[in-house]
Amino acid sequence: MNALAATSRNFKQAAKLLGLDSKLEKSLLIPFREIKVECTIPKDDGTLASYVGFRVQHDNARGPMKGGIRYHHEVDPDEVNALAQLMTWKTAVANIPYGGAKGGIGCSPGDLSISELERLTRVFTQKIHDLIGIHTDVPAPDMGTNSQTMAWILDEYSKFHGYSPAVVTGKPVDLGGSLGRDAATGRGVLFATEALLAEHGKGIAGQRFVIQGFGNVGSWAAQLISEAGGKVIAISDVTGAIKNVNGLDIAKLVKHSAENRGIKGFNGGDAIDPNSLLTEECDVLVPAALGGVINKDNANDIKAKYIIEAANHPTDPEILSKKGVLILPDILANSGGVTVSYFEWVQNIQGFMWDEEKVNAELRTYMTRAFGDVKQMCQSHNCDLRMGAFTLGVNRVARATVLRGWEA
Ligand SMILES: NC(=O)C1=CN([C@@H]2O[C@H](COP(=O)(O)OP(=O)(O)OC[C@H]3O[C@@H](n4cnc5c(N)ncnc54)[C@H](OP(=O)(O)O)[C@@H]3O)[C@@H](O)[C@H]2O)C=CC1
Ligand SMILES: O=C(O)CCC(=O)C(=O)O
């Protein structure tokens, strides 16, 4: 099932559990605005290249729309739409005063030079600058983008609107980025996993983890899980997969990956087939790369007891719930990133920097509270964690929508 169909199905199921009015349900599902722009740049060799950029602004009932910008060759309008909708429920689950949005450009960032990436980002910003803003829509990094991308957006946006650091989050600390934002999604994954395992009388220490993806989210999750005593036994990225049943040395792997542009060739483990990574024997599986990777083709072979959805929409939940695997859904598990993005925006607006200890302590408070709120919804609606998170998010957005009213 494609990401948009799956996300909308989850939303409709939650709306049914909540007994939402059908007209309200319809209005919550339709995106506020969908933007599609042509981005043509001169390449370094002087030839022209054209790309399509998207920004879907899904809902703003609870505050400015918020969500990352993805650079990936598979970016398409349906997926961006689904990811924008997920952001609306995610910010509501985290209980931060935002709506949801997501953007992307269909391109292969690894094939572009730094100056080509900069030109592409600036052209995209020129096309959307009137539709984003500190109190309307605040972009952030996602797959294939990073703090440098945010710095270019900030700079280009500021040419039109004056210096505006709060227009993006996840920017470099030197430009007003928050301490702790880089690690935030991975740290949130750690806190959410701790909360889930604690419910079952377990801790991180001693559990065997398998992680797909070693970018921002996967590498930070691996480092923090490993520092907390978890045994990370297998990891993959686009270059390959490696396994060490005694636990991989994550600090060495981070160094190797930075020096070699990927984990391939790391000598602290055995190379394995990346296609078998998700079905490796382990306690906790952490997909932290693409969507749709756990599907009808491999779901029956999954051996993990817990799946922590660090990526957005990595699993087809219908298949796995039948197998009794416990899934911590994306809109809760990876909400640490947008939560610290919120802290960054608050710091920019206040003009006051927090130290990293405060950022991490507040993040723990938000993640733990969100987990508890989701559990409460699971109890009151007799549902699994995904529906608990969806009912929580949808209910908060529905309440805000009704309170704001529809009078012209
Ligand atoms: N960044 C953030 O704050 C947040 C991100 N997310 C989600 O987390 C996921 C990862 O994002 P992020 O870490 O930022 O992205 P990055 O671009 O930093 O990293 C993505 C990682 O996935 C790897 N990858 C890509 N394709 C495959 C594949 N087919 N098999 C295995 N690995 C693959 C990449 O490998 P390589 O580098 O070699 O290409 C890279 O290691 C996405 O789903 C994103 O939406 C969710 C919340 C917040
Ligand atoms: O930090 C943000 O604003 C958004 C992060 C994001 O894109 C996500 O949570 O999927």
pLDDT tens, position by position, 174-191: 999 999 999 999 999 999
Predicted complex: ipTM over 0.95: yes
Say how far apart CA 71 and CA 122 lie, in whole Å. 14
Say how far apart CA 117 and CA 69 lie, in whole Å. 13
Say how far apart CA 75 and CA 55 lie, in whole Å. 11
| CB 169 near ligand 2, within 6 Å | yes
| pLDDT score for 321 | 64
| pLDDT score for 324 | 82
Please state the pTM of the whole predicted model.
0.98
| pLDDT score for 318 | 65
- From the annotation, which residues make up the binding site for NAD(+)? 185, 216
pLDDT tens, position by position, 7-61: 999 999 999 999 999 999 999 999 999 999 999 999 999 999 999 999 999 999 9
Sheet with 240-243, edge to edge strand ranges: 270-272, 240-243, 231-237, 208-212, 284-287, 306-308, 326-328
Distance (angstroms) between ligand 1 centre and the Cα of 215 equals 5
| pLDDT score for 407 | 85
| pLDDT score for 406 | 86
Given a cut of 70, the residues of the chain with pLDDT beneath it are 317-322
Q: Is residue 289 within 8 Å of 307, Cβ to Cβ? A: no
Mutational test site, ligand 2, from 96, 178, 338, 359, max ligand atoms within 8 Å of CB: 338
Q: Which tokens belong to 295? A: 């599907």
| pLDDT score for 323 | 72
Asked about 102 being catalytic, the answer comes back as yes
- Cβ burial 85-96 (10 Å sphere, 16+ → b, else e): bbbbbbbbbbbb
Dihedral sign, Cα of residue 194, residue 197, residue 198, residue 202? negative
**Nearest CA, atom 3, ligand 1:** 337
